[in-house]
Amino acid sequence: VLEDPEFTDVIENITVPAGRNVKLACSVKNLGSYKVAWMHFEQSAILTVHNHVITRNPRISVTHDKHDKHKTWFLHITNVQEEDKGRYMCQINTVTAKTQFGYLHVVVPPNIDDSVSSSDVIVREGANVTLRCKATGSPPPSIKWKRDDNTKIAITRNNSVLEWEGDVLTLSRVSRYDMGAYLCIATNGVPPSVSKRIKVSVDFPPMLWIPHQLVGIPVGYNVTLECNIEAHPTSLNYWTRENDQMIHDSLKYKTETIPGNPSYKSVMRLHIGEVQHSDYGIYKCIAKNPRGETDGSIRLYSSSPPTTIPPSTTESITTTVPSTRVYESPYGLSTMTINHFDKGIRYQSDYNQIDRSEHKSSDTSPNRDRSVDESAEANAVTVTCSIQFRRPV
């Protein structure tokens, strides 16, 4: 008596990443003259019957082990695609068909769909910005946002976060501080994760501030005037005198703009060599971009070079002397010989530093042993002094 065919093992459920190859096994005993068929249940498609491939899908094939006591029929799928997922049915064509199922899970790494995701955006300061990021994959990916420099994302004025979850990121009333690159990161547990970099540019008219609006400098010294700028897009920067005549680079003047960090910041400088009386007056730094323009003024005025101060005790210092001056000391008249300053040296543009030097000089007590002022000492060539005091009788 012939026994009816039976399945000898279950079909294992398999999980496979897209692009890999896979095979499903169906083991049968007592097959006799019956045949084994493979079907895709969700697609209601007959794939193979016995040794023949029925489907037109070139990625499908079938093999079986003739020498195995329990013959095993293998369904092969190469380069697995997401649409291949689902239930696969192995069937024996007995009078009442015998069937069993195995499930194929196909996992797909995330992929960001550029066609429905945001690209780089340019907005005006104070506007709202909405960034979108759509991704496909299996399982469906989750989306999170980060700033490329790892600073916080300002969702609103009162809500800043390091990460934001969701397909959409909305920034309210953006400012220049929100400018930069934002990363949309898609993950679903199937490596690799993917990201898209979206650059947000915030346009605003130039703004500037001046560290020192009054700059004192003696005749013959070099000086540098400075203006700090914030602007986006990058501004066109230049200097003028009070007659609005633009200053060009020459032996007398040198202009430069130094980029800052972040990129919307910069410093513009005007170097003036060997200041003469005709150089005193108002200088304007001007910045223009497509969103607007602004300017600021600096007044350059004449000041005296730092002075020397006499020490308060009688002493003698021997050195070379180019010139002599007479000073009143607490103990009577004294003479001090010092050199003149080298007028070719660069002079500090902040007049407040001169004030501080003079203040230090006025604070010198009779017991302190000082021969020359610190400022003079810093800028002088080699000097020697001969000092004598006469104490009153």
| DSSP summary character for residue 279 | G
- Is residue 323 domain-resident? no
Grade residue 326 by pLDDT with cuts at 50, 70 and 90: very low
Confidence of residue 242 (pLDDT cuts 50, 70, 90): confident
What's the CA angle centered on 319, arms 318 and 321, to 5 degrees? Answer: 120
Q: Region 87-105: what's the mean pLDDT? A: 96
Query: What CATH number has the domain bearing residue 266?
Result: 2.60.40.10
- Domain boundary pick from 186, 204, 222: 204
Residue 290: inside a domain: yes
pLDDT tens column, 109-160: 999 999 999 999 999 999 999 999 999 999 999 999 999 999 999 998 889 9
- Report the distance separating Cα 99 and Cα 38, nearest Å: 10
Domain for residue 328, yes or no? no
Please give the average per-residue pLDDT across 215-234, as a whole number: 97
> Is position 264 within any domain?
yes
Mean pLDDT, rounded, of the chain: 82
Residue 366's nearest CA partner among 327, 315, 329, 312 is 312
- Give the structural domain span for 132: 114-204
pLDDT at 292 over 90: yes
Q: Is 353 exposed, middle or buried (0-12, 13-18, 19+ CB in 10 A)?
A: middle
Of residues 348 and 105, the one with the higher pLDDT is 105
Inside any domain, residue 192: yes
pLDDT reported for residue 343: 39
Domains held by the chain: number: 3
Instruction: Note the pLDDT of residue 67.
Output: 73
Of 92, 107, 122, the residue that ends a domain is 107
Q: Same structural domain for residues 242 and 290?
A: yes
Distance CA 300, CA 137 (A): 66
Question: Which of 75, 107, 139 is the C-terminal boundary of a domain?
Answer: 107
Give the up-direction half-sphere exposure of residue 155: CA atoms within 13 A in the CB hemisphere: 13
Give yes or no: residues 133 and 219 share one domain: no
